[in-house]
Amino acid sequence: MAAQQLTKNQSLVLDALHHADGPLSAYTILDKLRDHGFRAPLQVYRALDKLLEFGLIHRLESMNSFVACAHPDHQHHHDHGVTAFAICEDCGQVTEMHDEAMEERLTVLAGKQHFKTEKTTIEIRGHCQNCTAE
Amino acid sequence: MAAQQLTKNQSLVLDALHHADGPLSAYTILDKLRDHGFRAPLQVYRALDKLLEFGLIHRLESMNSFVACAHPDHQHHHDHGVTAFAICEDCGQVTEMHDEAMEERLTVLAGKQHFKTEKTTIEIRGHCQNCTAE
DNA sequence: ATCAATTGCGTTATGCTATAACGTGTGGCA
DNA sequence: TGCCACACGTTATAGCATAACGCAATTGAT
Ligand SMILES: [Zn+2]
Ligand SMILES: [Zn+2]
Ligand SMILES: [Zn+2]
Ligand SMILES: [Zn+2]
């Protein structure tokens, strides 16, 4: 599955996420796209589902919202392994992190339980560097 | 803050979670406790908030539900560090895991970003040993 | 004992998040 | 041509969470 040609709705949603300075909820996206003809939540959710499938965006479980993937070559659909997110509770900024050692550790953890991993969520809530400086 | 005396509502909610064989949503708990006088979601959410604060239960972000802490000495309020959950998508069973190395790795990751961690969520979705056997 | 502050409680109403169900249109292909 | 897969639009509904109000019980000074 290579660089997928996005539909109009999918492109609009992806653009909205790219131009946002933080994660957006589905309903916030809906409001941003009303001028482009969006009327109902499903138009957003259907696009989000596809974008998630293509690996172009991520869902932040702890805040029911979505961010564009920070991976530079996001046109190429390739799983970029486990992702950890640092989410600032002050400014809302999200940092996407990848770490081989962490991934390895998770594999070991799951292995101990003979658990077959499908998807891993790691979200760190706290305060970013900017918001910590006093 | 030591072994907290729970209120009636808090005890009822905690018992419901202890007797459940998997995570429960707030509304499921509400239904289970209607015979005990519960009528509204807030009665449940308020109890859940306190139980979370006491460290007696955990919230599973990826499924909007709650589980009793599996830590044996859950009467003593002491943070038991970062918790990772393995959630079976077939049978709903949840396994609570603790791993020093994992915790260390996350500390390093956050440190690189000069990020001050408040709370960490780790949830592994997949299939448990029982549900993998064919 | 009394007052004030805190905490829990019950109720009603509301808001936010997500999906079910139905029908339409379009493009690819046997 | 007929069929299928897929995206789309719309309405309705389900599921999750909190705001706001008032009351009651508790605590801890004064
Ligand atoms: Zn990414
Ligand atoms: Zn910040
Ligand atoms: Zn625990
Ligand atoms: Zn299972």
What confidence tens digit (pLDDT) does each residue in B20-56 have? 999 999 999 999 999 999 999 999 999 999 999 999 9
Q: Do domains B1-73 and B81-134 have the same CATH topology?
A: no
Q: Which residue of B has its CA nearest to A61?
A: B62
Picking from A134, A85, A81, A68, the residue whose alpha carbon sits closest to that of residue B117 is A85
Which pLDDT does position B73 carry in this prediction? 66
Burial of B66 (C-beta count, 10 Å sphere; 0-12/13-18/19+)? buried
Sorted by where each begins, the domain ranges of chain B are 1-73, 81-134
Place of tokens 């996206």: A29
Q: Which residues of A sit within 8 Å Cβ distance of B?
A: 61-62, 84, 86, 88-89, 95, 97, 99, 101-102, 105-106, 109-110, 112-129, 132
Q: Evaluate whether A4 touches A48 at the Cβ level (below 8 Å).
A: no
% residues pLDDT > 70 (chain A): 90
Which pLDDT does position B2 carry in this prediction? 36
Strands B116-127 and B84-88: parallel
- A81-134 CATH, one of 3.40.50.300, 3.30.1490.190, 3.90.25.10, 2.40.50.140: 3.30.1490.190
Which pLDDT does position B3 carry in this prediction? 46
The Cα A103–Cα A83 span in angstroms is: 9
Tell me the count of A-B CB pairs closer than 8 A.
123
- Asked if residue A17 has pLDDT above 50, the reply is yes
Q: How large is the average pLDDT for residues B105-130? A: 97
pLDDT in tens, B73-83: 655 555 678 99
Place of tokens 């939540």: A41
Amino acid at A80: H
Which pLDDT does position B87 carry in this prediction? 98
- The answer, as to whether pTM is greater than 0.85, is yes
Burial of B68 (C-beta count, 10 Å sphere; 0-12/13-18/19+)? buried
Q: And the tokens for A98?
A: 């990848």
pLDDT in tens, A33-90: 999 999 999 999 999 999 999 999 999 999 999 999 998 665 555 567 899 999 999 9
Fold annotation for A1-73 = Arc Repressor Mutant, subunit A (1.10.10)
Which pLDDT does position A3 carry in this prediction? 46
Place of tokens 């419901």: B16
